[in-house]
Amino acid sequence: MDGDWDGGWWRGATRVSSPNFSARPAGARVDTVVLHSISLPPGEYGGDGIRQLFTNTLDWSAHPYYETIRGLEVSAHFVVRRDGAILQFVSIDERAWHAGRSRWDGRAEANDWSIGVELEGLEGDAFEPAQYAALEKLLPAIDHVRGIRHVVGHEHVAPGRKRDPGPGFDWCELAARLHWDAGRIPPAKPQQS
């Protein structure tokens, strides 16, 4: 891989290995990034809940909300914190468990062919300028080694089931920062693929 990468790990991120991944199917064409939003507990930022959830070390009794997700084993390739810090939990060569039942561009099971990026935030709330700046660095780095065809939201690949990153995410801002062809960034409203 490129000098910015080490075996599927981006050198621009802090590496925090998650056990929640599996091998991608043989021959999978990894060409899509799925953006999500997450905060743990919901609406609280800056804590260690996301890292703990993705590494299976979350104390389920630490907050009432955690009981509702007890036993959940999930991950994403990357998390972008509110201050723009980027953590990487799974090599982009592996299948992170981020999208669940999903479909986009005529393909099902987005985990097989996508890279998951969680933005620390809530559906509907605005995201920070530092997060857009982080995506402005991260997405071209991924594109350089994977040839990204689409950057979409969880709401796009699982419409009706998921709503993140939601209306608070500014897709036009992302497109303007990346200077990518409009066909690579979805319209603001999710559509069935």
Kindly report the CATH number assigned to the domain that includes residue 38. 3.40.80.10
Q: Which of 118, 120, 123, 155 is catalytic?
A: 118
Give domain status of residue 131, yes or no. Answer: yes
Q: Give yes or no for residue 188 having a pLDDT over 80.
A: no
Give domain status of residue 154, yes or no. Answer: yes
State yes or no: is 118 an active-site residue. yes
SS3 content of the chain, % helix, strand, coil (to 5): 25, 20, 55
Residue carrying structure tokens 């998951």: 116
**Maximum alpha-carbon separation in the chain:** 46
Mean pLDDT rounded to a whole number for the chain = 94
**Arithmetic mean of pLDDT, 94-103:** 97
Cβ–Cβ contacts within 10 Å for residue 119, how many? 27
Give domain status of residue 63, yes or no. Answer: yes
Q: Burial, 109: exposed, middle or buried (Cβ in 10 Å; 0-12, 13-18, 19+)?
A: middle
Domain count, the chain: 1
Full residue range of the structural domain in which residue 52 is found: 11-18+32-184
Chain segment 72-98, per-residue pLDDT in tens: 999 999 999 999 999 999 999 999 999
Q: Give yes or no for residue 193 having a pLDDT over 50.
A: no
Q: Give yes or no for residue 143 having a pLDDT over 90.
A: yes
Q: Give yes or no for residue 186 having a pLDDT over 90.
A: no
Give domain status of residue 69, yes or no. Answer: yes
Give me the helix-helix angle, 129-146 and 171-178, nearest 10°: 60
**Arithmetic mean of pLDDT, 142-163:** 96
Q: How far apart are CA 193 and CA 104, in angstroms?
A: 5
Give domain status of residue 93, yes or no. Answer: yes
- Which of 60-74, 142-156, 168-182 is the least confident region? 168-182
Per-residue pLDDT band at 124 (split at 50, 70, 90): confident
Which pTM does this prediction carry? 0.95
